[in-house]
Amino acid sequence: MKLTKEQKQEILDQQSQQNTTKRVTSSELEKILYEAMPVLDHGFIRVVDYMGDDTSIVQSARVSYGKGTKKVSTDSGLIKYLMRHRHSTPFEMCEIKYHVKLPIFIARQWIRHRTANVNEYSARYSILDKEFYLPSSEHLAAQSKSNRQGRGDLIEGDQAKKILDLLKNDAERTYNNYEMMLNERFDGSTIDENKKGLARELARMNLTLNTYTQWYWKTDLLNLLNFLSLRADNHAQYEIRAYANIMLDTVKKWVPIAYEAFMDYRVGGMEVSAKGKLVIQKLVKGEKCDYENSKLSKREWNELMESFGFTEKMI
Protein backbone atom coordinates (compact mmCIF):
# COMPACT_ATOMS: atom_id res chain seq x y z
CA MET A 1 0.00 0.00 0.00
CA LYS A 2 1.35 3.41 -0.98
CA LEU A 3 0.12 6.63 0.57
CA THR A 4 1.31 10.04 -0.53
CA LYS A 5 2.93 12.38 1.96
CA GLU A 6 -0.20 14.55 1.80
CA GLN A 7 -2.49 11.57 2.49
CA LYS A 8 -0.41 10.49 5.49
CA GLN A 9 -0.53 13.99 6.93
CA GLU A 10 -4.28 14.22 6.32
CA ILE A 11 -4.82 10.97 8.24
CA LEU A 12 -2.67 12.20 11.14
CA ASP A 13 -4.58 15.48 11.22
CA GLN A 14 -7.91 13.67 11.21
CA GLN A 15 -6.88 11.26 13.96
CA SER A 16 -5.54 14.05 16.16
CA GLN A 17 -8.90 15.85 16.28
CA GLN A 18 -10.50 16.22 19.70
CA ASN A 19 -14.23 16.67 19.17
CA THR A 20 -17.07 16.38 21.63
CA THR A 21 -20.48 15.15 20.58
CA LYS A 22 -23.85 14.21 22.01
CA ARG A 23 -24.31 11.55 19.34
CA VAL A 24 -23.72 7.85 20.05
CA THR A 25 -20.25 6.61 19.14
CA SER A 26 -18.60 3.21 18.88
CA SER A 27 -15.43 3.09 20.98
CA GLU A 28 -13.85 0.24 19.02
CA LEU A 29 -14.55 1.82 15.65
CA GLU A 30 -13.22 5.15 16.90
CA LYS A 31 -9.84 3.46 17.45
CA ILE A 32 -9.42 2.76 13.70
CA LEU A 33 -11.26 5.80 12.34
CA TYR A 34 -9.41 7.28 9.32
CA GLU A 35 -6.76 4.53 9.47
CA ALA A 36 -5.75 3.19 6.03
CA MET A 37 -5.92 -0.61 6.20
CA PRO A 38 -3.94 -2.27 3.36
CA VAL A 39 -5.66 -4.52 0.83
CA LEU A 40 -4.02 -6.39 -2.09
CA ASP A 41 -0.72 -4.88 -3.27
CA HIS A 42 -1.49 -1.14 -3.47
CA GLY A 43 -5.06 -0.81 -2.21
CA PHE A 44 -6.50 0.27 1.10
CA ILE A 45 -9.80 0.83 2.86
CA ARG A 46 -10.55 3.20 5.71
CA VAL A 47 -13.60 4.31 7.66
CA VAL A 48 -13.95 8.09 7.38
CA ASP A 49 -17.35 8.59 9.03
CA TYR A 50 -20.30 6.72 10.55
CA MET A 51 -23.64 7.31 12.22
CA GLY A 52 -25.31 5.22 14.92
CA ASP A 53 -24.50 1.98 16.74
CA ASP A 54 -26.38 -1.10 18.00
CA THR A 55 -28.60 1.06 20.19
CA SER A 56 -29.68 3.07 17.14
CA ILE A 57 -31.12 -0.12 15.64
CA VAL A 58 -33.23 -0.98 18.68
CA GLN A 59 -34.17 2.65 19.27
CA SER A 60 -35.67 2.91 15.77
CA ALA A 61 -37.39 -0.47 16.13
CA ARG A 62 -39.05 0.65 19.38
CA VAL A 63 -39.28 4.32 18.36
CA SER A 64 -37.99 5.03 21.86
CA TYR A 65 -36.46 8.16 23.37
CA GLY A 66 -32.83 7.18 23.19
CA LYS A 67 -29.90 5.05 24.25
CA GLY A 68 -30.13 3.02 27.43
CA THR A 69 -33.89 2.56 27.66
CA LYS A 70 -33.45 -1.24 27.76
CA LYS A 71 -30.80 -3.65 29.03
CA VAL A 72 -28.08 -4.77 26.60
CA SER A 73 -29.37 -8.35 26.81
CA THR A 74 -32.81 -7.15 25.78
CA ASP A 75 -31.30 -5.13 22.91
CA SER A 76 -29.40 -8.21 21.78
CA GLY A 77 -32.55 -10.31 21.74
CA LEU A 78 -34.40 -7.72 19.68
CA ILE A 79 -31.58 -7.33 17.13
CA LYS A 80 -31.40 -11.10 16.71
CA TYR A 81 -35.16 -11.20 16.21
CA LEU A 82 -34.98 -8.43 13.62
CA MET A 83 -32.16 -10.21 11.78
CA ARG A 84 -33.81 -13.61 11.98
CA HIS A 85 -37.11 -12.35 10.57
CA ARG A 86 -35.48 -9.97 8.07
CA HIS A 87 -36.95 -6.75 9.42
CA SER A 88 -34.90 -4.35 7.37
CA THR A 89 -35.67 -0.71 8.16
CA PRO A 90 -34.13 -0.59 11.70
CA PHE A 91 -30.74 -1.51 10.18
CA GLU A 92 -31.06 1.35 7.70
CA MET A 93 -30.77 3.82 10.60
CA CYS A 94 -27.01 3.24 10.83
CA GLU A 95 -24.71 4.54 8.10
CA ILE A 96 -21.01 4.31 7.32
CA LYS A 97 -18.64 5.93 4.83
CA TYR A 98 -15.51 4.25 3.46
CA HIS A 99 -12.59 5.59 1.46
CA VAL A 100 -11.43 2.78 -0.82
CA LYS A 101 -8.49 2.41 -3.19
CA LEU A 102 -9.07 -0.52 -5.52
CA PRO A 103 -8.35 -1.84 -9.04
CA ILE A 104 -10.76 -0.60 -11.71
CA PHE A 105 -11.98 -4.11 -12.58
CA ILE A 106 -13.01 -4.66 -8.95
CA ALA A 107 -14.65 -1.23 -8.82
CA ARG A 108 -16.79 -2.17 -11.83
CA GLN A 109 -17.87 -5.38 -10.09
CA TRP A 110 -18.47 -3.53 -6.82
CA ILE A 111 -20.61 -0.80 -8.40
CA ARG A 112 -23.19 -3.44 -9.35
CA HIS A 113 -24.40 -3.05 -5.76
CA ARG A 114 -26.53 -0.01 -6.53
CA THR A 115 -27.43 0.78 -2.92
CA ALA A 116 -24.75 3.29 -1.94
CA ASN A 117 -23.68 6.87 -2.54
CA VAL A 118 -20.44 6.84 -4.53
CA ASN A 119 -17.99 9.54 -5.54
CA GLU A 120 -15.04 8.25 -7.56
CA TYR A 121 -11.67 9.84 -8.30
CA SER A 122 -12.06 11.77 -11.54
CA ALA A 123 -9.68 10.82 -14.34
CA ARG A 124 -11.23 13.68 -16.34
CA TYR A 125 -9.81 16.10 -13.78
CA SER A 126 -6.70 14.38 -12.39
CA ILE A 127 -4.06 11.91 -13.54
CA LEU A 128 -4.48 8.38 -12.21
CA ASP A 129 -1.77 6.89 -10.01
CA LYS A 130 0.89 4.78 -11.70
CA GLU A 131 -0.08 1.70 -9.73
CA PHE A 132 -1.44 -1.62 -10.99
CA TYR A 133 -2.77 -4.73 -9.31
CA LEU A 134 -0.72 -7.85 -9.98
CA PRO A 135 -2.03 -11.08 -8.39
CA SER A 136 0.32 -13.08 -6.22
CA SER A 137 1.21 -16.58 -7.40
CA GLU A 138 -1.22 -18.32 -5.02
CA HIS A 139 -4.13 -16.45 -6.64
CA LEU A 140 -3.14 -17.08 -10.25
CA ALA A 141 -5.56 -19.81 -11.30
CA ALA A 142 -7.09 -21.27 -14.45
CA GLN A 143 -10.76 -21.00 -15.38
CA SER A 144 -12.92 -23.40 -13.39
CA LYS A 145 -14.39 -26.26 -15.42
CA SER A 146 -17.54 -26.36 -13.28
CA ASN A 147 -18.12 -22.65 -12.61
CA ARG A 148 -18.13 -20.13 -15.45
CA GLN A 149 -17.35 -17.24 -13.10
CA GLY A 150 -14.82 -18.94 -10.86
CA ARG A 151 -11.25 -20.17 -10.65
CA GLY A 152 -9.92 -23.69 -10.87
CA ASP A 153 -6.45 -25.17 -10.47
CA LEU A 154 -3.42 -22.99 -9.86
CA ILE A 155 -1.21 -22.01 -12.78
CA GLU A 156 2.43 -22.55 -11.89
CA GLY A 157 5.94 -22.53 -13.30
CA ASP A 158 6.90 -20.88 -16.56
CA GLN A 159 3.28 -20.31 -17.58
CA ALA A 160 2.58 -18.36 -14.37
CA LYS A 161 5.71 -16.26 -14.82
CA LYS A 162 4.78 -15.49 -18.43
CA ILE A 163 1.27 -14.39 -17.44
CA LEU A 164 2.53 -12.14 -14.64
CA ASP A 165 5.09 -10.60 -16.99
CA LEU A 166 2.35 -9.93 -19.56
CA LEU A 167 0.13 -8.27 -16.95
CA LYS A 168 2.95 -6.08 -15.70
CA ASN A 169 4.33 -5.17 -19.12
CA ASP A 170 0.92 -4.36 -20.59
CA ALA A 171 0.03 -2.14 -17.63
CA GLU A 172 3.34 -0.27 -17.73
CA ARG A 173 3.24 0.13 -21.52
CA THR A 174 -0.30 1.53 -21.59
CA TYR A 175 0.47 3.87 -18.68
CA ASN A 176 3.54 5.19 -20.49
CA ASN A 177 1.34 5.78 -23.54
CA TYR A 178 -1.20 7.48 -21.27
CA GLU A 179 1.44 9.93 -20.08
CA MET A 180 2.66 10.43 -23.64
CA MET A 181 -0.84 11.27 -24.88
CA LEU A 182 -1.33 13.66 -21.97
CA ASN A 183 2.12 15.13 -22.66
CA GLU A 184 2.37 15.16 -18.88
CA ARG A 185 3.83 12.82 -16.31
CA PHE A 186 2.23 11.80 -13.03
CA ASP A 187 4.50 14.20 -11.13
CA GLY A 188 3.12 17.11 -13.18
CA SER A 189 6.15 17.62 -15.42
CA THR A 190 5.70 18.23 -19.15
CA ILE A 191 7.12 15.69 -21.61
CA ASP A 192 7.43 17.96 -24.66
CA GLU A 193 6.78 21.69 -24.36
CA ASN A 194 6.12 21.96 -28.12
CA LYS A 195 3.22 19.49 -28.11
CA LYS A 196 -0.37 19.68 -26.93
CA GLY A 197 -1.61 17.08 -24.51
CA LEU A 198 -4.71 15.02 -25.27
CA ALA A 199 -7.69 15.72 -23.01
CA ARG A 200 -7.55 13.59 -19.85
CA GLU A 201 -11.06 12.28 -20.46
CA LEU A 202 -9.80 10.71 -23.73
CA ALA A 203 -6.30 9.65 -22.71
CA ARG A 204 -7.62 7.45 -19.86
CA MET A 205 -9.53 5.08 -22.16
CA ASN A 206 -6.45 3.03 -23.06
CA LEU A 207 -5.48 2.14 -19.48
CA THR A 208 -5.67 -1.46 -18.28
CA LEU A 209 -8.39 -2.50 -15.82
CA ASN A 210 -5.85 -3.40 -13.14
CA THR A 211 -5.03 0.32 -12.74
CA TYR A 212 -6.03 1.61 -9.30
CA THR A 213 -8.84 4.09 -8.72
CA GLN A 214 -10.30 5.51 -5.49
CA TRP A 215 -13.74 6.40 -4.21
CA TYR A 216 -15.83 7.36 -1.22
CA TRP A 217 -18.55 4.76 -0.68
CA LYS A 218 -21.36 5.53 1.79
CA THR A 219 -24.18 3.13 2.63
CA ASP A 220 -26.51 2.09 5.43
CA LEU A 221 -25.96 -1.00 7.56
CA LEU A 222 -28.71 -3.02 5.88
CA ASN A 223 -27.21 -2.65 2.41
CA LEU A 224 -23.69 -3.09 3.74
CA LEU A 225 -24.69 -6.45 5.21
CA ASN A 226 -26.33 -7.43 1.92
CA PHE A 227 -23.08 -6.54 0.15
CA LEU A 228 -20.98 -8.51 2.63
CA SER A 229 -23.23 -11.57 2.51
CA LEU A 230 -22.26 -11.89 -1.16
CA ARG A 231 -18.73 -10.48 -1.31
CA ALA A 232 -17.33 -11.96 1.92
CA ASP A 233 -18.60 -15.38 0.86
CA ASN A 234 -16.02 -18.04 0.01
CA HIS A 235 -17.43 -18.23 -3.53
CA ALA A 236 -16.80 -14.54 -4.20
CA GLN A 237 -13.83 -13.40 -6.28
CA TYR A 238 -10.72 -13.28 -4.10
CA GLU A 239 -9.88 -9.64 -4.81
CA ILE A 240 -13.25 -8.18 -3.80
CA ARG A 241 -13.45 -10.65 -0.92
CA ALA A 242 -10.20 -9.21 0.45
CA TYR A 243 -11.93 -5.82 0.79
CA ALA A 244 -15.15 -7.36 2.13
CA ASN A 245 -13.32 -9.22 4.90
CA ILE A 246 -11.79 -5.99 6.21
CA MET A 247 -15.17 -4.26 6.01
CA LEU A 248 -16.66 -7.18 7.95
CA ASP A 249 -14.15 -6.54 10.73
CA THR A 250 -15.15 -2.86 10.83
CA VAL A 251 -18.78 -3.93 11.25
CA LYS A 252 -17.75 -6.10 14.20
CA LYS A 253 -16.13 -3.07 15.83
CA TRP A 254 -19.01 -0.74 14.95
CA VAL A 255 -22.14 -2.78 15.78
CA PRO A 256 -20.98 -5.96 17.58
CA ILE A 257 -24.48 -7.22 18.41
CA ALA A 258 -25.73 -6.79 14.85
CA TYR A 259 -22.49 -8.39 13.61
CA GLU A 260 -23.05 -11.45 15.79
CA ALA A 261 -26.64 -11.79 14.57
CA PHE A 262 -25.49 -11.37 10.96
CA MET A 263 -22.83 -14.08 11.29
CA ASP A 264 -25.32 -16.39 12.97
CA TYR A 265 -28.39 -15.99 10.78
CA ARG A 266 -27.05 -14.76 7.45
CA VAL A 267 -23.50 -16.10 7.10
CA GLY A 268 -23.77 -19.26 9.19
CA GLY A 269 -27.44 -19.90 8.44
CA MET A 270 -29.14 -21.29 5.39
CA GLU A 271 -32.43 -20.70 3.64
CA VAL A 272 -34.36 -23.90 3.00
CA SER A 273 -37.24 -24.29 0.57
CA ALA A 274 -40.50 -25.97 1.57
CA LYS A 275 -39.42 -29.11 -0.32
CA GLY A 276 -36.01 -29.01 1.34
CA LYS A 277 -37.65 -28.70 4.75
CA LEU A 278 -39.63 -31.88 4.09
CA VAL A 279 -36.44 -33.71 3.12
CA ILE A 280 -34.70 -32.71 6.38
CA GLN A 281 -37.75 -33.65 8.44
CA LYS A 282 -37.76 -37.14 6.88
CA LEU A 283 -34.03 -37.64 7.37
CA VAL A 284 -34.19 -36.51 11.01
CA LYS A 285 -36.98 -39.04 11.62
CA GLY A 286 -34.87 -41.75 10.00
CA GLU A 287 -37.23 -42.10 7.04
CA LYS A 288 -35.92 -43.00 3.60
CA CYS A 289 -35.44 -40.02 1.30
CA ASP A 290 -33.22 -39.77 -1.74
CA TYR A 291 -32.62 -37.37 -4.60
CA GLU A 292 -35.02 -39.12 -7.00
CA ASN A 293 -38.09 -38.59 -4.82
CA SER A 294 -37.07 -35.30 -3.21
CA LYS A 295 -38.36 -33.14 -6.12
CA LEU A 296 -35.25 -30.96 -5.66
CA SER A 297 -32.79 -29.98 -8.35
CA LYS A 298 -29.42 -31.72 -8.27
CA ARG A 299 -27.71 -28.54 -7.09
CA GLU A 300 -30.23 -27.85 -4.32
CA TRP A 301 -30.04 -31.47 -3.14
CA ASN A 302 -26.24 -31.37 -2.94
CA GLU A 303 -26.24 -28.01 -1.13
CA LEU A 304 -28.83 -29.26 1.35
CA MET A 305 -26.96 -32.50 2.10
CA GLU A 306 -23.64 -30.74 2.51
CA SER A 307 -25.03 -27.96 4.74
CA PHE A 308 -26.67 -30.40 7.16
CA GLY A 309 -23.80 -32.87 7.18
CA PHE A 310 -25.50 -35.66 5.25
CA THR A 311 -22.47 -35.93 2.98
CA GLU A 312 -22.87 -39.69 2.52
CA LYS A 313 -26.20 -39.07 0.81
CA MET A 314 -24.84 -36.64 -1.82
CA ILE A 315 -25.03 -37.81 -5.41
What contacts 24, CB < 8 A, 6 or more positions away? 52, 53, 55, 56, 67
Residues 234-269 as b or e (16 or more Cβ within 10 Å = b): eebbebbbbbbebbbebbbbbbbbbbbbbeebbeee
For 168, the enclosing helix (H) or strand (E) is helix 157-182
**Residue 166 burial by CB count (10 A; 0-12/13-18/19+): exposed, middle or buried?**
exposed
Output helix, strand, coil percentages for the chain, rounded to the nearest 5: 50, 15, 35
304: left (phi over 0), alpha (psi -120 to 50) or beta: alpha
User: Known catalytic residue: 23?
Assistant: no
Q: Which of 212, 222, 219, 214 is nearest to 105 (CA)?
A: 212
Q: Which of 231, 241, 266, 299 is catalytic?
A: 231
Contact 305, 313 (CB under 8 A): yes
Other beta carbons within 10 angstroms of residue 143's beta carbon come to 11
DSSP character string of 247-288: HHHHHHHH-HHHHHHHIIIIIS-----HHHHHHHHHHHTT--
**Residue 79 burial by CB count (10 A; 0-12/13-18/19+): exposed, middle or buried?**
buried
Of the CA atoms within 13 Å of residue 231, those in its CB half-sphere come to: 23
Contact 82, 210 (CB under 8 A): no
Residues with active-site annotation: 231
